[in-house]
Every structure is written in C-alpha cells, then in structure tokens.
Structure 1
C-alpha cells in the first residue's frame, strides 16, 4: 500500500512492448491513456519485459518453447503467450531493476504471469495490479466458435515467413485451441496472486470466474474530450467509413462482410476503408481504400457514418467510442456495442437484411443519424471522460485523488 511518509506515491509500470512506437490504435491507445492517468497522480518508472531475449526467427521460437517446457513441472501447462514472456533470466533481471521502495506495481496483461509469480515472492506486501485489458480466455473461445486462427499480431514480426503463413491457417487454430484450454487456469492464478485485476468491459468481468484474493474492476476506456464536436451532419452526400487493419481478425471479418454486402446489393453509398491492409482486396463499385491516417480529424468530417458490424465478442470496440466522441453516428450490431450500454440506440441493427434495408435508405434518415450522434456524444462525455478514467485507475491503484 501507499507509503504515507512521502508526498507522492511511486508506481512501477511494466509493459510487454514500448508504448511510444507504432500507430495510435487499439491496445496501444488504451495503454497510453492508462499511463497518462497514473502519471497525473504518481511518480512512475517504466520497464518493458522482453519477449525472447531479442531473438528472431527459429531461434526465438526455440527459446519460447524452452521457456514453456522448463516451467512445466513447476507451473503446469501455461498459455503460449506466457511462454513468450517467461524467460527466467529476463524475469530475474527485470525484478532486480524494480525500485524496492515503490508503492504499487502495474503489470500489462495475462502474459506476464511468470513475472507476477516472481514479484509476489520478492515483494509479498506490495500492491500489485494486473491490467488484463480483454478477457483472453473468452476471446479464444470466440475464435474457436468462428473457426478462426489466433493471429500473432505485432509478435508476428518475430516469426520466419513460413511460420507466419502457417499461423494464418490450421496452426493458428490449434494455437487458439491451446490458449482456450490453458488461459482460464492462468487467469485464475493471476486472481490468486494480484491484489486487483482490471478489465475493459463489464461483460468480460462477468465472465471471469470467482475465486482468488484479487479485487475485480471494469474500467472502460477514455476518449479525448472534443468540446466543439457536433451531432449535426454537414450538407452533402453521406458516406460510410470503417477504420482498422485486416491484420486483426475482428477487423478482417468486418471488412470482408462489408465488401460482400456492397458487392451483392450495389448500395447507393460510398464506403471508405481506412487503415493499413495486409491483403490485396478486390473492391466492388463505390468502395475505396484510404490507408493509414495520422489523425482521425481526417476521417470524421461531419459527413461520415462509421459502419462496424462486429463478429468477435469481447472487450470494448474503441473505434465506436472514438467515433461517438466526434459526434459521428455509428451503425453496428449488439457485438459492436458490447460494453457500451446505450439503451435504444437507433442504429443498432441485427442481421444482414436489416442492415441492407437501413443502408439503402440512409440518405433520407438524417434526423435518425443526428439523433444517434447526439446520444453517442452525450454517452462518451458522461462515461468516458479523462477525469473519470484517472479517478477509476487511482482507486484501483490506491493513489491519491489528485497529484499534489
């Protein structure tokens, strides 16, 4: 707990990758917001846990396998992602770098379970919080239900090209099955060792089984306050947009669905896809790619509607909150709005038929679009402000309400 002899508490934050490289999206955006919230109320020191001693290719894969086999007698079968961050030498080296006088330790995700084991032995009385972000066991079950592989994400750069290709097929599905079997035990162990665990979505929190010492908290992500955002649409044609790279399964499923709908139904609307795409996409009429953009101000232009029917449950779709913060209407289904409890949102539609019916007549529904934009804007201003986010994180980390 907090040392009362000092004016400001000290928080050690341990990440699984650098937060200052890569596009501002998804988990990186949320992690940076967490860091900013903690910095506003504490003195922070940060460390990055290495994922295999800097190796690449086959050497990296063999080091990861060695981690898992070495830990088998002591810890049992852990998830593959825990193997990746399970180097005994790296765990010892990082623990040695931690300030013994720090008050709180923050860990970035379930994959740092091996580090958590070591930290709890070294610092039995420290307040340790694990930010689970999404409940990964639930995500793996959802992938299995859809027969989708587990995509390696930013760690894919570590793999040689043949292994990356295998990961996109049957090997990726086998890994998803392995993770689905092993993650529940890892999550339960984290709840035994940590003082608190945090998830983004109340829906994920409800799926986390009871047990263990940890306090369980859902802290929904913050979005930037935009005082000049307006729910009024500008005059002129309305376009539909989607933001996201097909490197992520949830985005790929949505992109493929939208391209199929535009191709089969010849909708009288432009669809613009933003984000870096890994595949060479065949685009139907009225669909175009714009690639990665540095600022969302280039995307949300007052004439756009975010369309994001989703097929992979779990977490909170941050693109939905971002669009709402700009006063942009969002078309989606129940999965799109999971963790965003807005009763009676007028643009939540279920099924292809209802979606196509809405899109065919979208140009005449400006009043409905503006009403939805107003509901969304009011929601994010009330529930996803930076002050509320910082207060929630201060509470779970046992920090003072304000930085002196």
Structure 2
C-alpha cells in the first residue's frame, strides 16, 4: 500500500524533546510503516525557513526522515503562509465567519497548500492520514476523488478553545476568540463527515462527537506508550510536574499550582519539594526566581531519571482537551498521581484506586499532602496505576490494531469498486 501523511509536525526523533503531541503522532506513523510499502509525508513547515534547526532545506529534512524510517518514507515540504494578523475588528469578524480566516488554520489552507496536496494525490496513494484538524483543511477544499481518509482529532478543538478562553474571563482578546467557535464546530463536523474514520483519544471523546454530530465513524485510539521497567520512587516528599510549558494549559496550570496550591501543601508537609521537568520553562511566570523548594530541571533526556527522583506525579490542568500522555506515562512508571478532572479526562484510571482526582485548590492540596504522608497509600495507588497502564496503554498492541484498521479501510474501498461480473451485460 501507498500512503500520504499530511502533518504540520515533522515526525522524527532528535529535533528536541518529545511532546505528547509527537508521541501520539509517532504511534500512527509507525503503524503506517507496518502496513505500507511507501509513505509520502506532506510536511506543512513553518513559513520562515530559519525558524527551527534542520529546517534549512528539504534536503536536510529528508535526510532526517531517512535516518529514522529508511527508504519507505519520502518527504515533500510545503511552507505555510505567514500567520494572520488579528489587528482589526474586521479580522475578528472574518475569523468568526470561517475557519479559513482563523489563526493557526489560515496558514495551512491557502491555494499553495491545496495545490501541493493535489499534486501529491497524483501519485494515487491508497490512503491518506491527516494529522490534526489543520491537515484536513486543504483536503476539505479538494473534497472529491480522495482515497480512504483517516483523521486524527487528538483534541476536540472547539472544546479546548472554549475552556482556554473562559479560564481567563478578564482578557478581552481571549474572550473575543469565543466568536470563532461556531465556525470551528462547523469545520469539525465537515472534517468528520469527509473522513473514512476519525480517531480520538478516548471513549469519552467518542461520546462527545456522537452527541454533537451524530458521528458513527469515530474510534477511540488512546495515547499509548512503551511500558518502562519497574521504577523505584524517591522516598523524599517530592512532587513532579512534567510537560511542555509552551503549551498554555500546562504553563497556566503549573503557575496556579505554585502560587495557590503549593503553599497549602507546605502547611501539611513543610519539607515538600516540587520538581518541574520539561521544555520552555523560561515561559513560566516564576522562572527567573523560582520559589523555595521549586526546582526547574529543564529538559530531562531520560524519563526514568525524572520519575525516580519524585514520589508523586501531579497534573493541575484546568483547560485543554484530548488526554494527557504525562498521566499515562506516570501510571506506567508506577507513580501515585493527583490530577484535576480535566487533566485526567478520558483516561481509563479508576478514581480513588488508581488515581486521585481533585479540582479545587484546597482539595488538590489535601490530596497531595495525603499521598505524600501515607506511604502505604502511595504504594497502592502506584501499583494499581501501573497495572492499569500495562493492560490498557501498551503501544505494541495498538500498533497492530491501527495497521489492521488502515488495511481494512483500503480493502473496503477496493471491494466497493470491483465490478460484479453477474451484473455485466451479456453479449
């Protein structure tokens, strides 16, 4: 089989630390590698060639792809348009009317990007995999003559945008973006209708889309990981927050935790420490002068090292969508976990037995203090979480499932176009 993969994120190792988005993307990419003899990547690169290392030329990027995947994968690069400037009431009105005029979407859906996809389709791929809603937009402008189309909607975008805006009701620029939601919903509906199969992160997201759109072609593909070996947790009272802090839900959640929740925890556990691991920590409001007991570790190359230094993993996330790979990873490492309900949304861990859920500042602080002080509880939670992760989130099993799903979609389309000899005219 031949596949066309459309994405705005280069699916390779070595360009920096893996984010949850890239870990999930790589699951689908590796599944394509299992079932396809040829995969063409249409990479919607940043509009500025100097934006990132190894993006100086298509040749550099092709070499990186060849390093990771060999000759199976070929790279085509189409640069995005420069971002829209939202500097006038008219710009906001256009964004409210159409997703093609919204920040983050307009840059990947212009005539140049549509033409690049149309050219790639001339090679007649057996299937298309569209990574995220942005990658669906040029296909929605082509619409006709497409092979089986698989679409990963890792975040239900209108829900994520609504939560993000409402979390900061005093910022009028954010609130004005609420006017974009109807056009965003319309685009999600059209994308799901166009796709042969739409993948989401959880059965909860499946139910949301079924309720909103009546969609019957949506399947849950959880964020799966490689199961690590057993890890010995630290016996010191150390909380761990791991993430990409360029992502606003992570950054804002951690800032709120440090400002409001951590002092409450310290009243119960005076020697508590907070370890912060991950990228873009310079964006944190307290980065220049971290409070006492807060340690900014930066990017940690080995997750084994990060989790072995901590005793409890936290996820104080109040906005966003999809599911948090950081929680699945923490569970696989046998960590006791404290999360908000949104932070743990869609993850199949049993509340109270495999994860502690708390939303208010007082409840979150109490849950952290409880598990820091009660070592038997921490051990039970960690062991149960690891057992659940091994049973439900093992990457190797999901790869086979996805490869079979891709084959099934292509074979179904081929059967639909095979003429029935019994119906052919005689003579």
Which of the five TM-score ranges fits, normalised by the shorter chain?
Answer: 0.7 to 0.9
Measured at CA, do residues 77 and 18 of structure 1 come closer, stay the same or move farther in structure 2, by a change above 3 Å?
Answer: closer
SS in 2 for 1:359: helix
CA distance in 2, matches of 1:62, 1:253: 25
SS in 2 for 1:311: coil
1:107 paired to 2:130: yes
2:254·2:316 contact (CA, 8 Å) conserved in 1? no
1:108-257 aligned within 5 A: 108-121=131-144, 123-124=145-146, 126-147=147-168, 170-174=172-176, 176-208=177-209, 209=211, 211=213, 215-226=217-228, 228-230=229-231, 233=233, 236-257=235-256
1:87 paired to 2:92: no
CA distance in 1, matches of 2:343, 2:214: 31
TM-score by length of 1: 0.79
Measured at CA, do residues 55 and 244 of structure 1 come closer, stay the same or move farther in structure 2, by a change above 3 Å?
Answer: closer
CA distance in 1, matches of 2:86, 2:130: 20
Q: Which runs of 5+ in 2 are unaligned?
A: 52-80, 410-427
Quote the offset at 1:257 in angstroms: 2.4
Quote the offset at 1:34 in angstroms: 1.5
SS in 2 for 1:300: helix
Q: Deviations along 1:58-98, whole A, 9 cap, x unmatched?
A: x8235999xx99xx8xx955443331211212211232123
CA RMSD of aligned residues (A): 3.1
Measured at CA, do residues 320 and 102 of structure 1 come closer, stay the same or move farther in structure 2, by a change above 3 Å?
Answer: same
TM-score by length of 2: 0.75
CA distance in 1, matches of 2:193, 2:405: 16
Query: Among 345, 352, 356, which residue is 1:348 paired with?
Result: 356
2:226·2:396 contact (CA, 8 Å) conserved in 1? no
Measured at CA, do residues 397 and 177 of structure 1 come closer, stay the same or move farther in structure 2, by a change above 3 Å?
Answer: same
Query: Among 11, 28, 37, which residue is 1:19 paired with?
Result: 11
1:188·1:211 contact (CA, 8 Å) conserved in 2? yes
Quote the offset at 1:363 in angstroms: 4.3
1:19·1:28 contact (CA, 8 Å) conserved in 2? yes
1:58-69 aligned within 5 A: 60-61=82-83
1:95·1:118 contact (CA, 8 Å) conserved in 2? no
Measured at CA, do residues 359 and 120 of structure 1 come closer, stay the same or move farther in structure 2, by a change above 3 Å?
Answer: closer
Q: Which runs of 4+ in 1 moved over 6 A?
A: none
CA distance in 2, matches of 1:359, 1:211: 39
1:10·1:102 contact (CA, 8 Å) conserved in 2? yes
CA distance in 2, matches of 1:354, 1:90: 48
Measured at CA, do residues 45 and 343 of structure 1 come closer, stay the same or move farther in structure 2, by a change above 3 Å?
Answer: same
